[in-house]
Amino acid sequence: MNGIDRSSSILREHFEEHRTKLSRSELAVAEHLVKMPIDVLIFRSAEEIAAETGTSDATVIRTAKRLGFSGLPELKRVSGRVMARTISTSERLEQRFRATGDDLEKVATQMFATAREVLTSTEEQMDGAVLASAISIVEEADTVWCIGMGTAEVEARHCAIALSRAGVRTRCSSASGFTLANELIDLRPADVIVMFHAVRETAEFKLIVRQLGDIGCKVILVCGVQLRAKYADKVSAILTCIGSPSKLASWSIGAIVIADLLAYGVAVRNQQQATDAKKRLADLRDQALGND
């Protein structure tokens, strides 16, 4: 990447495989994408690429699909993986500064657009049958443990709060190492784990999933596409969140929505339980404020 070849070899491979299927305008877009440095490509919107190639945003999106991707977000995400592996986080931040500039109004527009992209991509990955299965697993649990691995503490805590308000008994942890081991002593086979993990596989993550399987707990994994491929047969259900290679919007956006879907799904199926939980919460709040 460092000054040698900043374009995407994966994208070039897709281009060579599919180029004969492209129309003239699609070929113009594809050739433009192939030549574009990755650290530029991941910040480009369909509208910007269309303006640069004299085409339309619909043509850009269609070209991404013709090249074998689900759309432009996946094209950027797959192309950007090599950058994530080979460039330090500080260098990526510097690239982000260069790409966005310091016009905060423009930056806000980019960030909102990326957030919409994250949500749209996450929705496209949603499998209704898997979601329904995950909700059923939560319904049957004695206690639902919401565990946030690495940076995913906020998502796990949000999920635990949302489920508790639907009448589900929950526990939450963002601990690691020996501390997490001490907390998991209380696990029982009738418990369910909802585990949030935003990044790549780690030794600790592998160990925990294996240990949970040994205990007999069912595991719902909320993760990205790479972990989904590796753990499809190792957990009870996988719900996929899509991040953005530009990092202008957080993976957490999709994860929070998935947590809300789980909680609301349980509430809809168990409306009296959810209503009773809301009433208890309101009573406790009144007591805490001295309004009883």
> What pLDDT does residue 138 have?
97
CB 33 within 8 A of CB 63: yes
**Cα–Cα distances in angstroms (integers) from residue 236 to residues 3, 84, 131, 168, 218, in the given order:** 44, 29, 11, 19, 6
> What pLDDT does residue 257 have?
97
CB 145 within 8 A of CB 164: no
Say which residues have a Cβ less than 8 Å from residue 273's Cβ, sequence separation at least 6.
Answer: 166, 167, 267
Do the domains 128-288 and 9-100 match in fold? Answer: no
Q: What is the pTM of this model?
A: 0.83
| pLDDT above 70 coverage of the chain, percent | 96
Tell me which residue of 231, 147, 138 sits closest to 191, measured CA to CA. Answer: 138
Distance of alpha carbon 51 from alpha carbon 59, whole angstroms: 11
Going by pLDDT thresholds of 50, 70 and 90, the confidence category of residue 105 is very high
Structure tokens at 191: 């418990």
CATH fold group of domain 9-100: Arc Repressor Mutant, subunit A (1.10.10)
Going by pLDDT thresholds of 50, 70 and 90, the confidence category of residue 2 is very low
Distance in Å from the first CA to the final CA of the chain: 65
Tell me which residue of 159, 167, 139 sits closest to 260, measured CA to CA. Answer: 159
Tell me which residue of 188, 190, 195, 189 sits closest to 172, measured CA to CA. Answer: 195
The sign of the torsion formed by the CA atoms of 189, 209, 180, 284 equals negative
> What pLDDT does residue 247 have?
85
CATH of domain 128-288: 3.40.50.10490
- The predicted-structure confidence for 21-56, as pLDDT tens digits, reads as follows 999 999 999 999 999 988 889 988 899 999 999 999
- Domain ranges (residues) in the chain: 9-100, 128-288
